[in-house]
Structure formats: structure tokens, C-alpha cells
Amino acid sequence: MFLAMIASQPPEPTLEQMDAFARHAMAQLPDLFRVHLADVVLRIEDFPDRDLCRDMALDSPFDLLGLYQGYSTARPSGVSGTLPDTIFLYRRPILEYWAHSGDSLEQVITHVLVHEIGHHFGLSDDDMHRIEASDGE
């Protein structure tokens, strides 16, 4: 019986499948936003790396679902020699969150992606939490 339950469970989405979900979510954004994301790199990784976990003082690599690295749309002019703005989505923490959220995987990925896109537009975590809280009113 137990083996039948395990066999009937769908496999976890791969990095490639998560990438496809995230790109689909990006494609659904209004043109006004998408035009500003053309040069932003989207990367899907299983976990944040050890250095990042240490630098952010994370208790666990499961504590971070996504990350924006870059200058946001307020990039100073004339900046050269820098890496491209990048949005990271972390597959394993997202799947763990999804398993307990009650939301669809697509909803979770979209939520994390939009949160990181908010950082690209210069919004802080506090700004986004206020926006999300007022969205329900």
C-alpha cells in the first residue's frame, strides 16, 4: 500500500520545469513591467549557495525562496563591469513552501517572482508587505 502511494505521487518539478513555470508567469505580466525586465536574467537553482546563506545569516537554506541581485531600475548611468541584474528562484525552498501553503505551485512561483521583480523596481520588503496587506482590503 505504502509503495503504491509513493508511486502515485507526481515527481517534483525539475529545474527546467520550474524555469518554464516562472517564464510563463513573467509572460503574463503587463507590458509596462515586462519591458523593464528584458535585460534581467532569471535563474532557477535548487538552493542559495553557502556563501549567500552565511552572508544573510539564514538558519536554513530553506529560509530563502528567491533573491534579486542588481541595481534595480534606478541603476546609475555609466555603470560598467557589473553582472546583469538577476532574479534567483530557489526550487527546493519553493517546493517546501508550496507543500504547506494550500496554493497551487504556479501561484507560489508567481508570488515569489513578483516579489523579486518588486525589488528590481526599487521596492523594499516592507513596501511589498504593505502592498500585499492592502491588496486584501
Report pLDDT digits (tens) over 18-64.
999 999 999 988 888 888 888 899 999 999 999 999 999 999 999 99
Q: Between 12 and 95, where is the model more confident?
A: 95
Is residue 17 predicted with pLDDT exceeding 90?
yes
Share of the chain above pLDDT 70, in %: 82
The whole-number pLDDT of residue 1 equals 45
Q: Between 39 and 3, where is the model more confident?
A: 39
CB 58 within 8 A of CB 66: no
Is residue 5 predicted with pLDDT exceeding 50?
no
The whole-number pLDDT of residue 71 equals 78
The whole-number pLDDT of residue 51 equals 96
Which triple of cell numbers denotes residue 113? 517572482
What's the chain's length in residues?
A: 137
pTM of the model: 0.81
Q: What is the DSSP letter of 36?
A: G
Which triple of cell numbers denotes residue 15? 529545474
Alpha-carbon distance of 118 to 63, in angstroms, equals 19
pLDDT, average across residues 61-85: 78
